[in-house]
Structure 1
């Protein structure tokens, strides 16, 4: 059994509040509030757990907020979290405001030193052939923007399956290490290649351009229009979205990544991976927080019924 690792460089406590008709410059009263343990890698680990796949969640925490993140990850989310406790600063508190529009205010995060990074590298040195590593999410200012590249360079001889959910140079600079999966959206592809995508043929063309740079599988998110996968064997797979009322945009993309990984690990079938990924993304979008197993499979049944 492959071991799945996720890294959350800058996890947070997400303070999610709902306000009717939020206005600036006045006192607003909160109707509903929740505190969740946030971070893209943690989101992936949680959805994997719901699908029956354990993972090792790595990353950095600091201060009293970091202690609470570690506790919530283990006790509330049921994740095998092995965070590194750093000395300077504190883990973030991110405010997610739900009103007529969704707004976010994200914190900074702790200072991560070279010594802290060495501890992470030692954890990653334990990875073995065919293990899975998920790299996603923001990088604290105290870490070089080339950290993804540094990690994949260090692991390049281990033949791991790397999944990179990043944008711009952060993504392009790791393609030479042949990541198993990347997940740009159509707008990010337009920015990368400085083009305007006009058709599905354009999407496929530029997905193959990314493959020429080294990516094995390219999963393109198209928001309400579904997604498109160009797999490493040249196959093209197109799928729509699940039907439901969108309540939450936080974690839907991470859920899709987790579902794709789980679907692929079952039998290596790319269409099954795409279907399960789509169901996971939809289930989270239709939930107040990350999706649960039952709701994921409810969406999967709906998706298959529409085919």
Structure 2
């Protein structure tokens, strides 16, 4: 089984503006509401790639009800913990010349709420995959992902972590199956600015520090995968319409490819194709769109 954890899900209210003036009345020319949260995005992308997963996490209030409804509409069966306090967040994604985001804080997670999640995680067994993705909710300790990995240690569960660099640093001693830092997060982990020509060097260091696989997106320059070897992939060309969910789509495609028994090089290329397909669309891409880009990349 595959499980994703989203500590602080959201409804993402996306608005496209033709013009924008600060301090003035601005009107959108396009609106869209999507369910948000990195773990949820991974689950949706996996579904598009033919793999079913169970989304775990927390929801609260009427927005939480809508999040659960929208996740279910993707053919998934969520197993969220419903909080009795607060409201799940609504995030604003404003697209004009540049993309501007306003993310709400969301509800506070109490100790007894965390204990309910551990009860669900207790059922994971050998061969399962767990994806810990995104920022911590209010009230959750910075080391929570590391604590989860310590709790599950020895069960032969493949754990993927996609979070801020400071959080990634805490999980390395527990040998995550996959981490997906970007260039900025590499800089966070090592406390210095990492240039693009240094990414491979520092990704290799993360392997020596405990990560089994390190996947780093390099934007229009493709991506690299580092484990015992270094793999590179070019990126397809296209118009970027939406950056939300692109990295989550990469994780989903990498896992789907490896579960299909494909090589690391193919898994990397398919992850780039799926991430790019999402970036070139207004939502999580379907497999057909990713397949078209993959064929273009490898021909």
Settle same-fold status: TM greater than 0.5: yes
Aligned to 1:92: 89
Aligned partner (choices 226, 231, 234) of residue 230 of structure 1: 226
Asked if residue 212 in structure 1 is aligned to residue 204 in structure 2, the reply is no
CA RMSD in angstroms comes to 1.3
Aligned to 1:30: 28
Could you report, residue by residue, the CA deviation over 1:30-55 in whole angstroms, capped at 9, with x for unpaired residues? 11101111110010000100111000
Distance 2:79 2:195 in 1: 45
Aligned length: 299
Q: Pairwise mapping of residues 1-307 of structure 1 onto structure 2 (< 5 A)? A: 3-75=1-73, 77-197=74-194, 200=197, 202-231=198-227, 234-305=228-299
Distance 2:282 2:237 in 1: 16
1:14 counterpart SS class:
strand
Distance 1:25 1:268 in 2: 53
Could you report, residue by residue, the CA deviation over 1:48-82 in whole angstroms, capped at 9, with x for unpaired residues? 0011100010000000000000000002x222211
Tell me the CA shift for residue 24 of structure 1. Answer: 1.1
Tell me the CA shift for residue 192 of structure 1. Answer: 2.2
Distance 2:292 2:68 in 1: 30
Contact 2:241 2:279 in 1 (8 A): yes
2:12 counterpart SS class:
strand
Give the unaligned 5+ runs of structure 1: none
Could you report, residue by residue, the CA deviation over 1:1-31 in whole angstroms, capped at 9, with x for unpaired residues? xx11100000000000111121111111111
1:290 counterpart SS class:
coil
1:237 counterpart SS class:
strand
1:6 counterpart SS class:
strand
Give the unaligned 5+ runs of structure 2: none
Q: Closer, same or farther in 2 for the Cα pair 1:238/1:31, shift >3 Å?
A: same
Moved over 3 A (4+): 194-200
Tell me the CA shift for residue 100 of structure 1. Answer: 1.2
TM-score for both structures, normalised by structure 1? 0.94
Distance 1:127 1:268 in 2: 25
TM-score for both structures, normalised by structure 2? 0.97
Tell me the CA shift for residue 197 of structure 1. Answer: 4.2
